[in-house]
Structures are given as C-alpha cells and as structure tokens.
Chain A
Amino acid sequence: MEFKRVVVTGLGALTPIGNTVSEYWNALLNGVSGAAFIKSFDTTHFKTKFACEVKNFDADAFLGRKDARKLDPFVQYALYSTEEAVKDAGLDFDKLDTSRIGVIWGSGIGGLKTFLDEVVNFAKGDGTPRFNPFFIPKMIADIAPGHISIKYGLRGPNFTTVSACASSNNSLIDAFTYIRLGRANMFISGGSEAIINEAGIGGFNAMHALSTRNDDPATASRPFDLDRDGFVAGEGAGTIILEELEHAKARGAKIYAEMMGGGMSADAYHMTAPHPEGLGAALVMKAALEDANMQPSDIDYVNVHGTSTPIGDPQEVKAIQQAYGDELYRINISSTKSMTGHLLGAAGAVEAIAAILAVQNDIVPPTINHFTDDPSFDPRINFTFNKAQKRVVRAAQSNGFGFGGHNASVIFKKYEE
C-alpha cells in the first residue's frame, strides 16, 4: 500500500519562555532563559530552588473556576496550547468528519500535583478515606486527550503515550503513522507536563538529576558546557496538528512543514542512565532517517535531547557521531532546553515546534549559557552556542530520550508539492 503524506498545519505552545508560538519562537531566537526561583511552593528545604515555570497563566480566566478546579495543571496546559493550535490551523470541526480526527497526546507523569495533594490530605486524616471523587480522573495520564476530544467533539483514536521524556515524540510518531496508514485524516498531537511541585522537584533532586546552581538560575541549564550540573525542570505544553496532505489541501490549509518519519528504540541498559556509548540514541536517529527514507546529508539541523546532565550530553554526542559520521560537521545541533528547561513529557512537542519553525524560517535557535568548552567534545561540532544562526534548514531531526531507556526521534522537512 502507498503511504499517505503527513503535514503540519497548526501549532500551539505554552512554555516557560512564552505563552504562544510566536512568543516562544521569538524567545528562542533571542536566547531567553525561562529559569527563575520557584514561585509555586516553598523551596526552603529543597536542594534546588529554581525551575522553568510557566508564567502569567490564569487557569480560572481561561477555563472558569468550576472547570479549572477539576483539571490538573497538565490538562489545563494541554487545553490552552491546543486552543491556539486549532485556531492557527483554521479548523471548523462542524465541517469535518470528526470520526476521522483523533487526539494522541504525550505526558510522562500525568497529574502529579493532584496525586500529591490527595495523598497528603489522606495522610493528615484519621485513616478514613476521604478521597475527592475527581482524584483519579483528574490525575490519570490519559485524561488530557480525553478532555481535548470532549471539548472539540473528536471521535477518532484517542490515547496518551507514556515514555517519560520521550512521551511526546512517541505521540507524534503514533499520530504520523496512523495518518500515513490511512487510519485517520488528522490528529491533534503533542504533549504536556506539570511537575514543578514538591513531589516533582524533591523526587528529581533525590536522583541528583537537577542542577543545583541556586546562585544563578538563569544560566543553570547549560547543555554541552564543561560545568553543566544537571537539568532544569520545566513545564508547559505543545500542540502540533498533523494532517493528511490531500485533506489539508482540500480545505486550503496553511502548511508549515512535512513530517517525514519517526524512529523508536530502547537502550536496554539501565533504569535511568543512558547507554554510555549512546547505542540506543544512535539507533533511534538512524531508525528515524530510515523511516523518512532520508540520509544524514538531507538533514541540516538536529534539535538534540541535550538536558545539561553530566552523563546524558556526552552519550548523545557519541550517538550523533555514529548516526551522522562526517555529516555531523556540516549540520547545526542545538539544545533549546538551555532556554526552556526540560519539559519532560512535553519536551518532544515543544522541541518539534522549534525544529518545524527552524525548517520554515531557515534559522537555528541557539544553545545558550555556554561559558566553557568541554574538551571531550570534538571542536568541529557546531552546537549553535549562545546565538541563533541563519542557514538553510531543508530538514530537521528532533530527539527525545526518557528514563527507562526509551528513545524516539522525529524528522520534519520543508514542504514541497
């Protein structure tokens, strides 16, 4: 059977550096850091006192107090970025076959804040279970696409992909694959995460995964710098509307880029540590290229996973060297996590948006907060340090790697007839 072509026709973003796609993109190009001291809870006893929080988001104003109360922040964020994407794509669902439009969404954890609040409430009581009836439906990781489908009346395939920090790369790949196979005309895809609370920061702190640069939060996320000391927690949502090409053309849709392929692999190595030689990461980049029927010579930019951890960044460099060979010295790579922090299950979505806009606009967003070269990295690699670089970006690859050893990578290319 012949594969359908899949194009990107709408974008939405709620990020620590901008609450719309245009704010987010401008902040990326200007090298804005989203990190600051945490406002949402008291960090007195926490090793890390900063994160990349979403700013000026008013859930009550957006949803009304009655509905906002029933939705965990990760769902509130999902609905917010999706509203922007639906508007951006010019979708009028009354005129479309909504049984052929689905929602596949990524979230690494789901409603952690809801879980924390309810369990604390129980622990403070006398043992009588007084759990709120909204506890479970507010918390479960699949509820975000459920709410999106209810809001817009979309009756196509609907589920959440959970693979930690690769979750929304997986959601994009699933959506892409179902459209490619003719199983649906369109998906609202992407991901959201909201773990900046006592449990999220305390949990990642316990793993020694987070930066503790409390004297300078704004420069704490410094991927590929010699002094990187951990990732900076982020939160937010990214929505990408993927649509079958002929369906998009028939309704006169604006096309940002074409999604060409996706790869998936596992490290099969350790619960949280990446494979030291980048084995799974190299495999996934190659798998995505193969799925897209493309060569390293066709790619001009890789938005890397690049979390700013001491052991994660080197293995990804090794992996890119294996996947790209000498082509690596021709391309740009950058980690936009240097600005957004790590949005975990939403990282793949917001970084895919960065890759799509790089392809559309021929400019590569930077890896900011670079001070000192790490001598273990080949100096011929262009990490796009500190300033955005203009270049023709014919196609871009975006990587996501998650605890559990999950790897997923996606490729977008300039749309041509």
Chain B
Amino acid sequence: MSDIASRVKAIIVEKLGVDESEVTPEASFTNDLGADSLDTVELIMEFEKEFNVAIPDDQAETIGTVGQAIDYLEKNVK
C-alpha cells in the first residue's frame, strides 16, 4: 500500500469512526461507511490539509469512494 493510501485510510478511520477493515478501495463514503454530506465535505478538507493540496469543488464531487480519493491524490499530490 502506498504512503498516500495509508494516510487516506487513517483519516477515514479517524473521521468516520469506522474499522480499518471496512476501508476498502470500493467502499463508498456515504453508502458503505455511514458518512453524510457534511462528513464528506470534512473528509475532503482533511485530505487537503494532510496533503497540502486544494481540491476544487467540481473535482471533490467526483470523489465518492476510498479508491477514488487515493487515485485523485496520487495524481495531484506533488
């Protein structure tokens, strides 16, 4: 697992209070991990802070699963 992937998973475990085993690449924040719309916004903000990137709203809307978050960050984090 990449460094980015493990840090993303740690944030999700912390913020959503879920077990690490549930945080699979296919897992949807809202459907599988119990996030509501505000939780999702908070997650995106935590990713921005952790990786020092700005994720535009139109991009943020495309990030709905753990795998999508990892992919986006791996492509955009310098």
Give A residues with C-beta under 8 Å from B: 64-67, 130, 132-134, 137
Contact of A133 among B17, B42, B48, B49 (CB under 8 A): B42
Is B41 on the interface with A (CB-CB < 8 A)? yes
B16 touches A (CB below 8 Å): yes
Q: In the complex the two chains form, is A134's CB within 8 Å of B45's CB?
A: no
Contact check, A66 vs B45: say whether CB atoms are below 8 A apart: no
Interface pair A134/B17, CB less than 8 Å apart: no
* Complex: chain B residue closest to A134, CB-CB: B38
Assess the A132–B49 pair: CB atoms within 8 A. Answer: no
Q: How many Å lie between the Cα of A66 and that of B18 in the bound state?
A: 9
Cα distance A133–B39 in the bound complex, in angstroms: 8
Residue contact A130 to B16, C-beta cutoff 8 Å: no
Complex Cα–Cα for A267 and B15 (A): 47
User: Which B residues are in CB contact (< 8 Å) with A65?
Assistant: 17
Per-residue CB contact flags for chain B residues 26-57 toward chain A (1 = under 8 Å, else 0) read 00000000000010011001001100000000
By the criterion CB–CB under 8 Å, are B16 and A132 in contact?
no
- Secondary structure call for the A interface: loop
A266 vs B55: C-alpha distance when bound (angstroms): 51
Contact indicator A134/B49 (Cβ below 8 Å): no
Report yes or no: A130 in contact with B45, Cβ–Cβ below 8 A. Answer: yes
Q: Is the CB of A133 within 8 A of B16?
A: no
User: B12 to chain A: closest CB distance in Å?
Assistant: 11
A186 to B42, CA, bound (A): 37
User: Bound complex: CA of A64 vs CA of B19, how far in Å?
Assistant: 13
Complex: A65 Cα to B17 Cα, angstroms: 7
Q: Kindly state the separation between the CA atoms of A28 and B45 in the bound complex, as whole angstroms.
A: 47
Given A66-B15, A66-B16, A137-B38, 15 additional A-B pairs, CB 8 A? A64-B17, A65-B17, A66-B17, A67-B17, A130-B45, A130-B48, A130-B49, A132-B42, A132-B45, A133-B38, A133-B41, A133-B42, A133-B45, A134-B38, A134-B42
Alpha-carbon separation in the docked complex, A344 to B63 (Å): 44
CB closest chain-A residue, reference B38: A133
Give the chain A neighbours of B45 by CB distance below 8 A. 130, 132-133
Query: Can you pick out 10 interface pairs between chain A and chain B where the beta carbons lie within 8 Å of each other?
Result: A65-B17, A66-B15, A66-B17, A130-B48, A130-B49, A132-B42, A133-B38, A133-B41, A133-B42, A137-B38
Residues of chain A within 8 A of B15, CB atoms compared: 66
Contacts of B41 in A (CB 8 A): 133
Specify which of A64, A66, A130, A137 lies most central, judged by the most chain B CB atoms within 10 Å of its CB. A66
Nearest chain B residue, comparing its CB with the CB of A138: B38
5 closest Cβ pairs, A-B complex: A66-B17, A133-B41, A133-B38, A133-B42, A65-B17
Residues of chain B within 8 A of A64, CB atoms compared: 17
Alpha-carbon distance A132/B49, docked complex (angstroms): 12
Q: In this complex, which of A66, A67, A132, A133 has the most chain B Cβ atoms within 10 angstroms of its Cβ? A: A133
Nearest-neighbour CB distance to chain A for B56, whole angstroms, equals 13
Chain B residues closer than 8 Å to A67, beta-carbon distance? 17
Q: Name the residue on A nearest B44 (C-beta).
A: A133
- Within the complex, the shortest CB–CB distance from B57 to chain A, in Å, comes to 13
Among B38, B41, B49, chain A packs the most CB atoms within 10 A around the CB of: B38
Could you tell me the distance in whole angstroms from the C-beta of A381 to the nearest C-beta in chain B? 53
Determine the distance from Cα of A133 to Cα of B40 in the docked complex, in whole angstroms.
9
CA distance A130 to B17 in the complex (A): 22
Residues from chain A with Cβ under 8 Å of B16 in the complex? 66
Q: Which residues of A contact B42 (CB under 8 A)?
A: 132-134
Residues of chain B within 8 A of A134, CB atoms compared? 38, 42
How distant is the Cα of A241 from the Cα of B15 in the complex, in angstroms? 34
Smallest CB–CB gap between B66 and chain A, Å?
A: 17
Q: How far does the alpha carbon of A356 sit from the alpha carbon of B45 in the complex, in Å?
A: 48
Instruction: Give CA–CA (A361, B17) in the complex, Å.
Output: 45
- CA separation between A292 and B38, bound complex, in Å? 46
Question: In the complex the two chains form, what is the Cα distance from A65 to B48 in whole Å?
Answer: 23
A134 to B36, CA, bound (A): 11
Q: Distance (Å) between the CB of A133 and the closest chain B CB?
A: 4
CB distance from B36 to the nearest CB of A (A): 10
CB distance from A72 to the nearest CB of B (A): 15
Closest to A130 in B: B45
How far, in whole Å, are A125 and B41 apart by their CA atoms in the complex?
19
Chain B residue nearest to A64 in the complex (CB): B17
Contacts of A132 in B (CB 8 A): 42, 45
A67 to B38, CA, bound (A): 13
